[in-house]
Structure 1
Amino acid sequence: MSASTTKQVAPASHAASSSYRTLWRWHFYAGLFVMPFLVILAFTGTLYCFQPQIEPLLYKHRLVVEPQAVPRLTEDALLARARAVMPAGSLATTAAITQEPTRSAEFVFRLPDGEKQSVYLNPYTGEVLGTLSVDHRFMQVVRMLHRKLLLGKPGELLMELAACWTLVMIGTGLALWWPNEGTSLRNAIWPRLALSGRAFWKNLHAVMGIWLAVGALSFVLTGLPWSGSWGKQFKALATSANLGAPKGAWGGLSLRSTLPGGDARRVSTDAAHHPSNRDSMPGMIMDDLPLPTTPWAVGDLPVPNSRSDAADRRLTLGSVVARVRSLGVASGYEIVLPASATGVYTVSYFPADPKLERTIYIDQYRGAVLKDIRYGDYGAVSKAVSYGTSLHMGRFFGLANQVLCALISLGLAGMAVTGCVMWWKRRPARSLGAPARARAAPPMRCWKAGLVLLGIVFPLMGTSMLAIWLADRAVFGRTARRLAS
């Protein structure tokens, strides 16, 4: 090899080494931040995915009944029995409607102290089977761990930030894995079990990462629309651009209407004497209602008011159930009961198949359908999010979907374990063991442009990247200057 050729190869090799080290450094710090959250997301997500199988085992005596040949009691009779066992001042907020012969009837009440409690009854005999706290039941705790770490808004923002940094971890991991001249594609996608020590763990980590990359990316992209900060902004933007649920979703009546007898003062009187009416007050949106889950597309839509010019007699729950059945929805939905003179019966049908989703508002006095929002009314973004949500939750194609989600989730937890083992085996004593910073920063224009784009699309992540960049320059820049002097 000539001297001139050697001079050309050396700078290229140095640039490649610097780029690899920079990517490794980003991957290390992204993983260091993300992995603890990823383990929590993996195990809570797997548990929540199997909620339909787990809850009947945990609460068998409340949720499961023996099928009987006798007719089921009416919804009104069951609601009356549930009201009779609740403390004085409790307000019925939600009814779960199901025709499954082995499932109990469920009604949710808001107690005088503000706590929400479910009451379960045998639909054939009316026997009260027991109660459960809505907020403290096992699966609700798992769900709140998954979404907010049980820390409220700060935890929700932390989970959102972890999801965004997972994108960086995936991108840098793929770049580090990409086969080079000395690695065959087969060795890059299949574990080399003959290796030992840190080389084995590194290979296993890389191979698992490539197989899980698509699933991890799907989880992040389908979960972010439900996040507390970016998700809400994204939903508002999609709705305003008619890419979410269009404002003109089907509905024949105005959202504003008169009260029975035209007495507007009745609203404020009811609200003053029944603080729990905040579950169904005018001006609320779907996300404010006491529902376990609602279709993403309708979360920002205002809840209409009931209208009646003369009659002020509220329809019974049984009448509303019959009305909903006539609209083609027979089972597996929740009804939010009206809690004020202007409230409506809100029906939320959230099945596994997104194309069957329905949100129906029914006037509490005359039974008029104020709005009936279906999948066909959604915009392109909301349709995509609906399918993503169903897949993310393991609902779309049954048990196989649940198993696939569990394998991806637990695989990501395995990535965290292999990453920790690799770090432990290479870390120097009394040191974090982070990859050394490249002496000369490589250009890497595409990567920098990608990070800037991610920071713009996800402002919370952009803010954290800017903070890390400033801290890196302050700490390591000062060290470099000291060494130079």
Structure 2
Amino acid sequence: MTDTTLPPVGAGGSAKEAAQPSGANKFYFIAWRWHFYAGLYVIPFLIMLATTGLVMLWISWMAGIGAERMTVQPGGEPLPLSVLQTAAETAIPGGRATQYVEPLAADRVAVISVATEAGNTGVVLSPYTGEVLHTFPWRAGAYDLANKIHGTLLLGSFGDRLIEIAASLGLVMVASGLYLHWPRRGGSWRDTLVPRLSARGRTFWKSLHGVVGFWVSLMLIVFLISGLSWAGVWGERMVQAWSTFPAEKWDNVPLSDDVHADMNHGPAKEVPWGLEQTPMPASGSLKGTAAITGPVDLETVAAFARSLGFVGRFQINLPKGDAGVWTISHDSISNDGPNPAADRTIHIDRFTGNVLADVRYADYSPYAKAMAWGIAFHEGDLGVWNFALNTAFCLSVLGVSLSGLVMWWKRRPSGSGRLAAPPRPGDVPFWKGAAALVVFLGIVFPLAGAAIVAVLLIDAALLRLLPSVRRTLA
């Protein structure tokens, strides 16, 4: 939400030649300078996040993440799941079923993930005939490629850190942008809330940039914080570690060395945020509550899930190794349903059929509950209104980012090869509110703090020692 009161550069003087601000207006130029420098780093990431987010939103809405939206003609009673499991494993030589996805409805397909040494393959079957209708690389489609770019830039943890810095500095951009666009000195709320479509040139882009940025600022904060809650430093090591469901709440059941996040497939998130770091229970004891009598297999586990009220799309993860457990889950993070309050994860001993753990939404910590809703909102899973709102939001973020670039392009000195950063006011007064905000963000978001310190050092010291660089950035 860049703004300026300087005359246009290249049409009547450079930024250096513009009158230096005085008094309270110096705060405005300080905010503008921070907004500009943060934007240099953040805007490319916002464009990437909005574009990949839009791709994932539409793929999920139109086709589903896997192939579970394929339809079949219902005919009689569905086959036993053991028959579907055998058909799926037969279709992938040397494969072993690892995950089952219940059909969305009576006229939809069943999906089973089959693992081999080469990776996992999704097998799509008719629940009524057992016919294999389609196979696809599990969690390796267009949605998942967009998801990997969205979360890591295809650079693993290094990309995750780069995005975390951008999201953290994005909060600085929102705060400084709101300050710049807030009505002052006789400015009207109409100009704050409604773009001046009759304006021309840079004035039009300035109005459009500020108004759209103002309207999307609250939603952008929600998206940035929910995304940061998954990031490697602030998310994984801080808020998630503090908000993870404690396995000690279970009735002294044996615990595995695995955690719930091990059920994810790469960057794909398939277990609730508040459970990712919780250790998995282990099979092989007499602990737990009696549940399934007789053989414990895919058929009896699914029947037990249905008896508890699991309907529509739910998932069953098959045991991995002798100590592995059966896991029944229905959660919004996996796009199983539109209501995060219906989240439920159940672990069953593979030998005794006893329920070792049963975690519901009510058991989540307050922040994990907020994340359950925040992620569902982030992914557009709460209904048609959420899908439409997120589509408009992504397009608005693209518009704000691109309009900021247009404003800079129109303001920069023509042919000078300079960056044309906003001027740094002389005799800057100490801005207590801004300093408090910067310190707060630096403490709460460590990578943002490191980036802010780096910018301050570069601006205060390095540029003074390198006049040629200073002239380029000026």
* Fold equivalence (TM over 0.5): yes
CA contact (8 A) 1:63 1:120 kept: no
How large is the Cα RMSD of the aligned pairs? 2.5
* 1:444 to 2:431 alignment: yes
Q: Partners of 2:97 and 2:139 in 1: how far apart?
A: 16
Work out whether 1:416 is the aligned partner of 2:401: yes
Q: Measure how far apart 1:141 and its partner are.
A: 0.8
Alpha-carbon distance, 1:330 to partner: 2.9
Q: Which residue of 200, 204, 212 corresponds with 2:204?
A: 200
Distance 2:209 2:104 in 1: 47
Kindly tell me: are residues 478 and 381 of structure 1, through their superposed partners in 2, closer, same or farther at Cα, counting changes over 3 Å?
same
Given the superposition, is the C-alpha separation of residues 290 and 79 from structure 1 closer, same or farther in structure 2, using an over 3 Å criterion? farther
Matched, 1:464 2:471: no
Q: CA deviation at 1:414?
A: 0.3
**1:108 paired residue among 102, 113, 117:** 113
Asked if 2 retains the 8 angstrom alpha-carbon contact of 1:290 and 1:336, the reply is no
Q: TM-score, normalised by structure 2?
A: 0.86
C-alpha separation in 1, matches of 2:214 and 2:240? 34
| Residue 339 (structure 1) aligns with | 320
**Contact 2:240 2:273 survives alignment (8 Å):** no
Rounded Cα–Cα distance in structure 1 between residues aligned with 2:396 and 2:277: 35
Q: CA deviation at 1:112?
A: 1.3
In the alignment, the residues of structure 2 paired with residue 59 and residue 354 of structure 1 have an alpha-carbon distance, to the nearest angstrom, of 20
Q: What does the per-residue CA deviation read over 1:41-84, in whole Å, with 9 as the maximum and x for residues that have no partner? A: 1121122223343325x987x85122223221121110100111
Number of the residue aligned with 2:44: 36
Change (3 A) 1:436 1:475: farther
**How far has the Cα of 1:444 moved from its partner?**
1.0
Q: In the alignment, does 2:218 pair up with 1:214?
A: yes
Shift of 1:228: 2.4
Q: Is the 8 A contact 1:246 1:379 kept in 2?
A: no
Return the letter of the residue paired with 1:336: N
Structure 1 residues 226 and 352: alpha-carbon distance in aligned structure 2, compared to 1, 3 A threshold = farther
Q: Name the CA shift for 1:433/1:305 in 2 (closer, same or farther; >3 Å).
A: same
**Offset, 1:295:** 1.1
Amino acid at match of 1:145: I
Gap regions ≥5 residues in structure 2: 1-19, 287-293, 332-336
What CA deviation, in whole Å up to 9, does each residue of 1:5-29 have, x standing for no partner?
xxxxxxx971223222211111011
Partner of 1:14: helix, strand, or coil?
A: coil
Letter in 1 for 2:364: Y
Match in the other structure for 1:386: 372
Of stretches 461-470 and 94-103 in structure 1, the one that deviates more from structure 2 is: 94-103
CA contact (8 A) 1:94 1:290 kept: no
Q: Deviations over 1:392-433 (max 9, x none)?
A: 11112x011111111111101100111111011111121112
* 1:473 match: 460
- Separation in 2 of the partners of 1:160 and 1:324? 38
2:53 corresponds to 1:68: no
Tell whether 2:304 aligns with 1:323. Answer: yes
- For residues 364-410 of structure 1, what are the alpha-carbon distances to aligned partners after superposition, in whole Å with 9 as ceiling and x for unaligned? 122110000011111212111211111111112x0111111111111
Structure 1 unaligned regions, length at least 5: 1-11, 257-281
Deviation at 1:227, TM superposition (A): 1.7
- The letter of the residue matching 1:254 is V
| 1:70-111 deviation line (CA, Å, top 9, x unaligned) | 2211211101001111132x3322111225123221111222
Taking structure 1 as the reference length, the TM-score comes to 0.84
**DSSP-derived class of the 2:63 partner:** helix
Q: Distance in 1 between matches of 2:449 and 2:93?
A: 50
Q: Size of the alignment, in residue pairs?
A: 435
Matched, 1:296 2:273: yes
Equivalent residue runs for 1:15-164 within 5 Å: 15-55=23-63, 63-88=69-94, 90-113=95-118, 115-164=119-168
| Deviation per residue, 1:145-187 (Å, 9 max, x gap) | 1111122111111111111111000001011111111311212
Q: Percent identity?
A: 35
Paired residues of 2:241 and 2:277 also in contact (CA < 8 A): no
CA gap 1:59/1:352 in 2 versus in 1, 3 angstroms: closer
Amino acid at match of 1:315: V
Change (3 A) 1:463 1:165: same
1:247-294 Cα distance to aligned partner (Å, 9 max, x none):
454x446125xxxxxxxxxxxxxxxxxxxxxxxxx3111011146521
